[in-house]
Structure 1
């Protein structure tokens, strides 16, 4: 039995359990994947979106990662960054990057270690991880992450045969067809399929960006997706949420020939000059999330590029988070070093988790389905 200290943070409704391994090793690589279930599960654990691990970027940590997971032909150079950012999905798989998670890490570094800015290595599972800058404003109005410049989605994450290059960083998907059952849309339309134009960009995670007002074959559906709670139209909200979930699930389940590792799906609408509303279905958790930092950047970047706008600052309003927090927003700024996102993370609490050790190897764990993991952890709880 281990006792794992952790801290829980939230940013725009996304919540994270952070385990600090900068001073000592608490979890083996196998245990990180298994602990992700306890961290993210509300019934058998803590409850959050993702588990975050922060480590020193040194030879020991990089060799340990590669020895267990075999991500790289040669490990990255330790002098590239001060820290390593790790994010694990509920399944135990390691994700690439997370804007809101990185902003929470920035706040944590200041709160715990007095560090106001740092270089951090992210996108760990890719052949070439990326080093970026994170930090917290000295007046404590928020944390920021410079995600660099958006770029083309790595070939291991998308089949380029289905996409046309329309920008140095953007692929265009001309017509993605999402099908529905006969009665799914009966109350709203006679159609049983939706043809969608989408733009694909990589901002640390692969993101499809869709502006339903112009990119849907049935643009009237956009009003359901962006129906707000302040309108008091419960039926419209419910259908809009179902529509986002259906499209996101359909693309992730039926379009693996295009997106072999899954895809984040963003729905966006311009509200005013420099203000965009966004909903995001995340591939790692297989559902809509309250907010997404890398998705917000993808939306702002594509909007500015497609409309040839010289935008230096955009406010992206996370639609679902705004149901609970009317002032929620992710600020996007462009400068010579790239694109910076910022928000105001909050530390919720710190605690210790009583974590049972198991002998399962990492490959055995990742080959098990979710139900098997739940069953084993229930047995342990008893």
Structure 2
């Protein structure tokens, strides 16, 4: 029997199991993906959305990764980095990046090693892993991750013959058709299909952003998706019914787009719905919800999705430049005051600022991998 020391953190309802391999290896490389099942399984494991591993950034560690994974033709030059960020999905595949996960790692490093700021490698499964800065304020109240410049989605993640270029970083797709069974959309609509448009950007993960007030043809689409929100307008039907229906609809759209358009998005696509909202004396406020490709469902919040929503909204002149407030819709159903701050500097680098919380630490008894 093997005992696995772990810490469990949450950031806006995104839950992560963290295993620390800074000073010693807990798993060999082949075991990491398999342990993701136990880390994410709420019935026979610990229970979380994703499994995170933090390692020292050394050539020895990089070589051990590449020996098993074969990510790179030659080891990348990452000498400036202190640590490596790894994230594994429930099925054991390694994800590119995660804004909320990076903030949890920043908070963990602050609590465990008293490190206020470090350089960490993310996007490990890509040809060119990226070094970014993460950290935690000295009072420990908030953490941050500088995700850098949003980028045009790489050609191995989409079909360039189908996707159009909106500008030098954002791609546009239109007329994405989703079919429904008869009565699926009742009592809100008698339609049997939706035609959607979306804007795509890479913010460490591939994200599509849709604005339901103009990118959907379902009558009342925006109010269905954001029912029960503090910013919702008055509704003809009870908000509770639309909240439940909206949850089903986001999952249905996310799964349909990822399955129907697999030729367009071979690596999958996270789907975000966003709308600008306003409150007295405040500017640059967006509400959003996100279907994440790696877990195949809507999550309570997504850090890289929040960056994508903010970045694209600015380029479409929906909000003003500067620091913006992102309201994670599903998370706010549980914690109404939840807010994610996105600051974009003059050069276009995006920093996400949030408030991770450690839930528990302990050991998980593992009989086999």
- Normalising by the residue count of structure 1, what TM-score does the alignment of the two structures yield? 0.91
| Pairing partner for 1:345 from 351, 356, 368 | 356
- 1:35 CA drift (Å): 0.7
Within 5 A, what are the aligned runs for 1:155-304?
A: 155-228=155-228, 233-272=239-278, 273-304=283-314
Gaps of 5+ in 2: 233-237
Give the Cα–Cα distance (whole angstroms) in 1 for the partners of residues 149 and 120 of structure 2: 16
Give the Cα–Cα distance (whole angstroms) in 1 for the partners of residues 148 and 176 of structure 2: 29
- 1:233 CA drift (Å): 2.1
1:222 match: secondary structure: helix
Check conservation: 1:265, 1:281, Cα contact below 8 A. yes
Gaps of 5+ in 1: 359-382
Give the Cα–Cα distance (whole angstroms) in 2 for the partners of residues 265 and 6 of structure 1: 30
Change (3 A) 1:270 1:308: closer
Check conservation: 1:55, 1:83, Cα contact below 8 A. yes
Give the Cα–Cα distance (whole angstroms) in 1 for the partners of residues 80 and 125 of structure 2: 16
Aligned residue in 2 for 1:21: 21
Give the Cα–Cα distance (whole angstroms) in 2 for the partners of residues 256 and 226 of structure 1: 28
Give 1 or 2: higher helix fraction: 1
Check conservation: 1:53, 1:85, Cα contact below 8 A. yes
Aligned residue in 1 for 2:341: 331
Check conservation: 2:288, 2:326, Cα contact below 8 A. yes
1:355 lines up with 2:366 in the alignment: yes
Check conservation: 1:170, 1:200, Cα contact below 8 A. yes
1:80 match: secondary structure: coil
Aligned-residue CA RMSD in angstroms? 1.4
Within 5 A, what are the aligned runs for 1:44-59?
A: 44-59=44-59
- 1:350 CA drift (Å): 0.6
- 1:60 CA drift (Å): 1.1
- 1:93 CA drift (Å): 0.4
Check conservation: 1:62, 1:78, Cα contact below 8 A. no
Give the Cα–Cα distance (whole angstroms) in 1 for the partners of residues 318 and 82 of structure 2: 37
How many residues are treated as equivalent by the alignment?
A: 358
Check conservation: 1:203, 1:298, Cα contact below 8 A. yes
1:146 lines up with 2:149 in the alignment: no
Change (3 A) 1:310 1:224: closer
1:162 match: secondary structure: coil
Check conservation: 1:213, 1:219, Cα contact below 8 A. no
Check conservation: 2:276, 2:318, Cα contact below 8 A. no
- 1:267 CA drift (Å): 0.3
Give the Cα–Cα distance (whole angstroms) in 2 for the partners of residues 167 and 187 of structure 1: 39
Check conservation: 2:188, 2:219, Cα contact below 8 A. no
Aligned residue in 1 for 2:103: 103
1:337-372 deviation line (CA, Å, top 9, x unaligned) = 6110010100111100112334xxxxxxxxxxxxxx
- 1:310 CA drift (Å): 4.8
- Normalising by the residue count of structure 2, what TM-score does the alignment of the two structures yield? 0.94
Give the Cα–Cα distance (whole angstroms) in 2 for the partners of residues 27 and 297 of structure 1: 32
Aligned residue in 2 for 1:369: none
